[in-house]
Structure 1
């Protein structure tokens, strides 16, 4: 029997829907089965609330607790003073989407489904993570958590398999699309699958500052769920370009403090608000350094408000707060990482697989569990967060992950499993890969170029700034790390490494 165009389209739609539901149901059953078995073996105590705050393009050296001297971050520093500070924690990738995919799935970029910032024509949003992916939110949902995400998503447009409400979150508010998040005065945000128009914003008039609204929704979620057990994923947009914030008391603290280099529309990828705006670009900024400092300061204020809300509600003793950044510092929109030493003296920045592009601050507070003022040099990464959360909540997942639980390090009890190695790949500019094994760090750029780039080898114990390539005198180590690079990669049709 031949199908006409209408019936054929209906058939494809129904078949796709059934496949999507089958994937989700299979994933749900698998998680439930494993968690049920786990619960039979242990007595589940009251599980803690978990708040994971993710800054956007904040450098390793952008916090005063990590060495910043040009501006202060007292609220985030207080987290470090009351918890544990990691000095060798790594992001999932050197840019937004793959880094967040690694965080959500517990898989490094050789395995995680999203490995680059792949844009979709005609869609407000990026390539979606598939229905079969198991996320932190889904693991926690099966454990009885209420899950909310507030900020920038970037892992699938509204209604797709990667939509946050299709990946374990009960509530989402913010930017679904990371291109739209280039602007701090957008025309709209999203609340679940509903578009929320922002009062007074039309890309000419700038009235409503989106991050302030997102912060309000974050605090409302925490308050609404104070009597439940919740997971709040807070991927803040600050201090990602554009460099823009209200010119209020926070901004005024920094006006005149720095020798400014204005960023104008003559610069690449820059257009101002007005009738000729390109919304995916960045605005000009006559005081970019003061504005950048104020944006980090504002981010710190948001963190302080979250901590204060938890204390006000009387749930601080049973709430874990984690803080990190998605990749190294950016230099778009007039930002200057070198001026503020945003990389903390490390080589590289956003998009680099050198330390400055992928090493991030990481702080965790867990009252009565983590000793205040602890510092650790445990080598860890974004793909450790899912198994860590599963360990904390006495749940598990059905599939293998690349991470290890950090709980022994957090609470200073038991034997901490160490990584055999950490691996990154990034398919830009003819391919980039990096491996860290012990103190050895291998970096390889232009792997697929006609004139292949040279393999670089650094000993981070003696050369943390990656200044001295010692590949020529350590050929056995080079061969070992090259083999790890080969073995760690699984092919991706969406993100081919070529």
Structure 2
């Protein structure tokens, strides 16, 4: 990739600054000071819409604990997930690369990978490779104890591509490659504890003894207790509020004149919020709160099965999970570190590939980062410093199906693999006014830059590659 100076819209060379694939994550960050290695907890919701939190505008769903993280920390309003669906979004998060450059670019691949079943259909899935460096690999090299709780979704059908084989020291959850390891959904009888597949007796014989959210929170708290004397990285990836919306306790919303589907969806979010409150209470009890950085996000926007209209899950944004419009990829992103991260709301453009170089910087492990990253270190923003994150190309693709890119106020997108649509997101946040015909030169620049961002993949071959 080439460096392009940002001078305006006039010439091909002046439109984009594309970060070189091997750009140093530490460039320009000398002013940031964080004297001790913090514990790091990254909490990820599943299919939760941008506006499903009270602190992001929900008028219906109660999320007091997450709201408190936002009101006592930093809330980003223009954060983008790694993709519009689970596996590629999580791959971008874990590897620091966008979906034009990652190993996993869609939930199902077109070639290679490993063949398996989803329901009755035969599909192919790709998995993280042994040479894919993850956040856990980098932080482990810096002396962190690392743990993934619950959802991995980067193993495809390969039982050797588990979190334990991709940098994590501990794992408690489920794998795609062992189909029944999260069965039944939300009240599992089966679950991995590291390499061992165990039974959850509270859920034996179809009983609903313990919900997955509570089980995951218990696993997370146990990990923290065991590692209170060591720097640790906890990746807590809840299932909530992914469909099917299974939860017995809906008391928060029983008085509402909603369908049961809507009550259960909202309850899954509020129940997760309460679980996060318990985790925060445990950090207080262990006197770890002052040296623990907490990040909360969602892996993509709300899904078609969610009560999108009734609860306004994706806010004013167009689209939903599975699409590269704003509703599919714009997500909440909250950063909290008591006494270190200031109270602020930021509109900087950030996305999931930025997480890896940022956490590496905080852990003193930037020298352990691999090359060819697309993300940048955004730690200055965490500590109240200014930083220009908008004059670079953010890029997404579902190869051969959808593409999108954001640069400054402008966004180019197609969800049909047809001609690019063009929107000025600052003026048209709902992506309602396609300006492609008015500004064909901008579309041409986006087209050229997006092609440069795309690295051919043997698992998603395009014509001519």
Contact map agreement 1:258 1:289 (CA 8 A) in 2: no
Given candidates 443, 451, 454, the residue that maps to 2:419 is 454
Structure 1 position 341, deviation (Å): 0.4
Q: Distance in 1 between matches of 2:204 and 2:108?
A: 27
When residues 230 and 419 of structure 1 are mapped into structure 2, their CA distance, relative to the original with a 3 A threshold, is: farther
Match of 1:495 in 2: 460
Q: Residue 217 of structure 2 contacts residue 276 of structure 2 at CA under 8 Å; is this kept in 1?
A: no
8 A contact 1:445–1:454 mirrored in 2: no
Name the CA distance, whole Å, in 1 between partners of 2:129 and 2:91. Answer: 11
Corresponding residue of 1:224: 226
Structure having greater relative contact order (Cα 8 Å, sep ≥ 6):
2
1:377 corresponding residue in structure 2: 347
Aligned to 2:396: 424
Match of 1:342 in 2: 313
CA distance 1:425–1:224, shift in 2 (3 Å)? same
Partner of 2:265: 292
Return the offset for 1:223. 1.2
- CA change 1:469–1:51 in 2 (3 A) is same
State the match for 1:439 in structure 2: 409
Query: For structure 1, which segment, 142-151 or 418-427, has the greater mean C-alpha deviation from structure 2 after superposition?
Result: 418-427
Aligned pair in 2 of structure 1 residues 444, 189: CA closer, same or farther (>3 Å)? same
Aligned residue number for residue 395 of structure 1: 365
Alpha-carbon distance in structure 1 between the residues aligned to 2:106 and 2:157: 19
Say which structure is richer in helix: 1
Offset, 1:72: 1.4
Task: Give the number of aligned pairs.
Answer: 420
Match of 2:336? 365
Q: Distance in 2 between matches of 1:113 and 1:122?
A: 18
> What's the secondary structure of 2:265's corresponding residue?
helix
CA distance in 1 between partners of 2:168 and 2:157 (Å): 13
The 2-side partners of 1:153 and 1:345 are apart by 30
Conserved 8 A contact 1:159-1:193: no
> Unaligned regions of 5+ residues in structure 1, if any?
1-33, 36-41, 261-286, 448-452
Instruction: Report if the CA contact (8 A) 1:128-1:161 is conserved.
Output: no
Q: 2: distance between equivalents of 1:359 and 1:245?
A: 26
- Structure 1 residue 216: Cα displacement: 0.6
Which residue of 282, 298, 319 maps to 2:292?
319
Equivalent pair of 1:239/1:292 in contact (CA under 8 Å) = yes
Q: Deviations over 1:317-362 (max 9, x none)?
A: 1100000000000123xx2211110001111110010000000000
RMSD of Structure 2 on Structure 1 (CA) = 2.4
Is the CA contact (8 Å cut-off) linking 2:318 and 2:431 kept in structure 1?
A: yes
TM-score, with structure 1 as normaliser: 0.80
CA deviations 1:125-165 (Å, max 9, x no partner) are 95320011111001000000000100111111697453101
Contact 1:317–1:367 under 8 Å retained in 2: yes
Q: How does 1:137-156 map to 2 (within 5 A)?
A: 137-156=136-155
Deviations 1:435-470 (A, max 9, x none): 1111111112332xxxxx232111001100001111
Structure 1 distance, partners of 2:231, 2:364, is: 14
Partners of 1:158 and 1:141 lie apart in 2 by: 26
Shift of 1:418: 4.5
Q: Which residue of 2 aligns with 1:98?
A: 88
What is the TM-score of this pair, normalised by structure 2?
0.85
Runs (5+) with no aligned partner, structure 2: 1-23, 26-31, 119-123
Note if contact 2:115-2:125 (Cα within 8 Å) is conserved in structure 1: no
